[in-house]
Amino acid sequence: MSKDLLSLLNLRDDPRFVSVPPGTRPGVTTVNGKSVIVSENPATGEALGAVTLDSAQDLEREIAASVETFKTWREVPAPQRGLLVRALGDEFRKFKEPLGELVSLEMGKIRAEGLGEVQETIDIADYAVGLSRQLPGQVFPSERPGHRMFEQWLPLGPIGIITAFNFPNAVWGWNAMLGAVCGDVCIWKPSLLTPLITLATHRIAERVAARMNHPGVFRLLIGTDDQVGERLVNDRRVPLISATGSCRMGRRVGSVVAQRLGRALLELGGNNALIVHEDADLNLAIPAIVFGAVGTAGQRCTTTRRLIVHEKVLPAVLDKLVAGYKQVSGRIGDPLKDGTLIGPLINEQAVAGFLHAIEAAKREGGEVLAGGGRVEGAKGHFVQPTIIRAPGNNELAIAREETFAPILYVFSYKTIDQAIAMQNGVDQGLSSAVFTESLRVSERFLSTAGAGSDCGIANVNVGTSGAEIGGAFGGEKDTGGGRESGSDSWKAYMRRQTCTVNYAGRFELAQGIRFE
């Protein structure tokens, strides 16, 4: 690689960064007496560097300091808090290219997607700046003469932000930009699979906050679950835990936070389906399917994992998909290289999960139409984008599980109600889509009575992947029910207060109650 991204982002100067010798295995280890997490380049299997791990004592210190920072940060007027977020967005613009390329280097998504991820953080910063001039509460008519009733939204406190490896910059941005303008202190616990982009992102946020005379608004804890994760979600001083990750992780976080009567904002798995109706424009549908299924090597929570195709157009769809997969399979490789469309999976564990799912599908009668294995001769964790046709009975148990890899399971249907039932017939409910030229079919899919898609995201002639920040992002059922980013998602980071003011000068009760 021609650029030293770690130097461009000043990571080598950070006291938490540790250089490691070639051949160091990824994961938690000890270097010079320090407990560190070693980061790996998934395209080559080579160690990129290491970051020192925080301990339980570090967690206690950071939470205690966050409580004190919150006492002053909440007093800063929201438009002034917006100025900090605006400055932070501007700083991310300056470092968009090296940050985006570091995402590609450490996580494995192609360069365009890495840059796009940082752009999401820039976009949500812009959105949050506008929001800082609003944070509106409603005014209600009081039944008592001479009384005024209204609601207001107040800062919540230090909030915990737990993020996954697949969006190591943007998901923090979704939470931290909104949390900051809402008056909260943001404590970030990232995935241990992407510590370098985490550290680079945090250094920028920390530097801008200090320059704006608000140090400590953004805090970082890179640690194991036993030292940091469990203690963070258990701590009553952290009223909100926003957690992105697997359904298994979400169940643990949700139950622990619920036991202490805290708040949990959960963004979990998404076993997403796309329906192709008999009248669909295939020139529109096929590119959306291919990108949705193989983008980020199938490691997005919005990845298209199940394809439900009307039986009349199934042969044509399969022919076009197989041809399309042959094209993209020739462009697997270094995610930072121009022309690459598919990068590696994050690690060997992900590759093992990919191979396990394919073998399970075969045992159930699934037919592999494209892909089906590793990329031979590749150094890193590269796999072939795979299409698996379900057997004639349309039953494929493995398709009910979310495998974080580029596997697309294909099913057929006769009626749109059958297709919607198949789409909804999994535990997760994040993103969904239908391709059709029929008004009746699209309206059935978007049924306002709730008889259509049961997902948090439902698209017509748009794929399952590629959400914009203006709309609320999140899903139902095992996806957790949380909402981040746009719409009124900011309310999760604040507490609501209903207020009544009596200016009548006399005592009066509601509901006509007299107490004299």
Task: Point out the residues that are catalytic.
Answer: 267, 301
Contact criterion met (CB below 8 Å) for 153 and 491: yes
Give the separation between CA 42 and CA 106, rounded to whole angstroms: 7
How far apart CA 374 and CA 332 sit, in angstroms, is: 11
**8 Å CB contact between 436 and 426:** no
Helices 111-131, 78-94: axis angle to 10 degrees equals: 160
Q: Label residue 392 exposed, middle or buried (CB < 10 Å: 0-12, 13-18, 19+).
A: exposed
CB 351, CB 372: distance < 8 Å: no
User: What is the C-alpha separation between 409 and 360, in angstroms, rounded?
Assistant: 12
* Paired sense of beta strands 304-310 and 494-502, if any: unpaired
Distant-in-sequence, close-in-space partners of 78: CB < 8 Å, separation ≥ 6: 132, 133, 135, 181, 182, 183
Dump strand ranges (E) for 347-480.
367-370, 386-389, 407-413, 428-429, 431-435, 457-460, 472-473, 476-477
Neighbouring C-beta atoms of residue 367, cutoff 10 Å: 12
Q: What one-character DSSP code corresponds to residue 167?
A: S
Are 441 and 415 in contact by the 8 Å Cβ rule? The answer is no
**Calpha distance 509→516 (Å, rounded):** 11
Which of 372, 422, 371, 420 lies closest to 394 in space, CA to CA? 422
Locate all alpha helices (DSSP H) within 165-261, ordered by sequence.
Answer: 170-181, 195-211, 230-234, 247-259
Crossing angle of helices 111-131 and 170-181, in 10° steps, is: 10
Using CA atoms of 253, 256, 261, 267 in order, give the dihedral in degrees to the nearest 10.
10
- 407, 432, 439, 443: which is closest to 274 by C-alpha? 432
- 267 dihedral zone (left: phi>0; alpha: psi -120 to 50; beta): beta
Q: Distance between CA atoms of 245 and 404, rounded to whole angstroms?
A: 11
SS3 state at 485: strand
